[in-house]
Structure 1
Amino acid sequence: MRKSLLATLLTTALWSALAAAEPTYIEKMTGLPAICSIDAIQEETKVWAAERKYGEGSKHWSEAFHHRLDVVRTCVDDAKEKGKALYKAEVDSQPSLKSELADMYVSWLGYLDHLIDDDRDAYRRQYELSANRLKAQIDSM
């Protein structure tokens, strides 16, 4: 009984310490498209269901398809606004990393723009590469 109680308390204490940690700039920027990606997948599932049930090009499929575009576009626009504010704040706090931050931001914007279509994997890889370059630059400081 004591061991399980001790394990529970230890786990709770560790989780509290982790939960209280402020996410890094890269984690925040990566989280914004992740949310939109989840939205895109959820809406794409509805498009596939409409396609199976009513056929591609049907009224129900078209409505689901256009709703997916609207949902993802709204999420992307919101993420861009939040990301822009995060980017400006990070450049202000880390002016020596301005070039690396700009490269990552450009890749991030490209990735967000392509969350709407099905060609997002190549843009995600490009963003991840630029984020890794920024991590390497930060680690070398």
Structure 2
Amino acid sequence: MRTFLSASLLLATLWSGVALAEPTYIEKMTGLPAICSLDAMHEETKVWAAAKKFGEGSKRWSEAFHRRLEVVRTCVEDAKDKGKVLYKAEVDLLPSLKTELATMYVSWLTYLDHIIDDDRESYERQYELSANQLKAQVDSM
């Protein structure tokens, strides 16, 4: 019984340390477009289903298509607002990395603007490259 309690206490202590770990700036910024991408994919399945069931160009397909655009647009605008706050806080925290942060922020905004496009992967790669460059700069400090 004592061993079980000790193990439970140790596990709880280790878990509390993990649970308290704050995501990094890059993780937070990466998570925002990921949410919008999931929303876009979810809504796109509804568009495909409407096309299959009612035909592309039908009223139901058009409603699903425009709903997808609106959902993604709303998510992107919300992400931009949140990202702007995160960006400003990070620049205040690390003013010596303002150039690198700005480069990453620009590529992040461009990626967000193209979440709805078929070519969003190229913008995602540009964002990931700038995020990796920023991470390397931070790691070198």
TM-score, normalised to structure 2, is: 0.91
Q: 1:51 to 1:10 in 2, by over 3 A?
A: farther
TM-score, normalised to structure 1, is: 0.91
Q: Offset at 1:89? A: 0.8
Root-mean-square deviation (Å): 1.9
Q: Name the SS for the 2:115 alignment partner.
A: coil
1:128 maps to 128
Question: Deviations for 1:74-104, whole angstroms, at most 9, x for unmatched residues?
Answer: 0000000010011011111100000100000
Q: Percent identity?
A: 77
Provide the C-alpha distance between the structure 2 equivalents of 1:105 and 1:52, rounded to a whole number of angstroms. Answer: 39
2:43 maps to 43
AA at the equivalent of 2:28: K
Provide the C-alpha distance between the structure 2 equivalents of 1:40 and 1:7, rounded to a whole number of angstroms. Answer: 44
AA at the equivalent of 1:55: G
Residues 30-109 of structure 1 aligned to structure 2 (within 5 Å)? 30-109=30-109
Q: 1:8 to 1:77 in 2, by over 3 A?
A: same
AA at the equivalent of 1:45: T
AA at the equivalent of 2:68: R
Q: Offset at 1:9? A: 6.1
Provide the C-alpha distance between the structure 2 equivalents of 1:37 and 1:8, rounded to a whole number of angstroms. Answer: 39
Q: 1:111 to 1:4 in 2, by over 3 A?
A: farther
Count of matched residue positions in the alignment of Structure 1 and Structure 2 = 141
Q: 1:134 to 1:50 in 2, by over 3 A?
A: same
Q: Name the SS for the 2:109 alignment partner.
A: helix
Q: 1:5 to 1:88 in 2, by over 3 A?
A: same
Q: Offset at 1:117? A: 1.8
| Long gaps (5+) in structure 1 | none
Provide the C-alpha distance between the structure 2 equivalents of 1:89 and 1:18, rounded to a whole number of angstroms. Answer: 24
